[in-house]
Amino acid sequence: MALSKRDRIVVWGSGSLAFVQATVLRAKFPDATIIVVGKNHDKLRLFSFVDEVYELQDIPEDFSFDHALLSVWVAMPVRKPFVTLLSILNLKER
């Protein structure tokens, strides 16, 4: 069951999957604050369309969010990223 509050959504990761997730989130929830957290400075610069970008070591003490999406590769089977993307597409606005 998804939470109805979707003011601040964070995407953890800075790779191509995170980029796709952030793009879909921006289109689906244009009024939400989209945040990307990652460790690759050069990749994070590509997320110019999101509201906030943080490198892992620079996350503020008072950092908070309503929803988070994990976009890092940790020995996943190939189909897992698509499951994650489908979960974004199935979020319903309330």
Give 33-67 pLDDT, tens digit per residue. 999 999 899 999 999 999 999 998 899 889 888 88
Measure the CA–CA gap between 36 and 34, rounded to whole angstroms.
Answer: 7
User: Are 35 and 21 contacting, i.e. CB atoms less than 8 angstroms apart?
Assistant: no
Task: Inform me whether the pLDDT recorded for 76 exceeds 60.
Answer: no
pTM for the complete prediction? 0.74
Two tokens at 12? 């953890």
Q: What is the pLDDT of residue 32?
A: 93
Measure the CA–CA gap between 91 and 3, rounded to whole angstroms.
Answer: 10
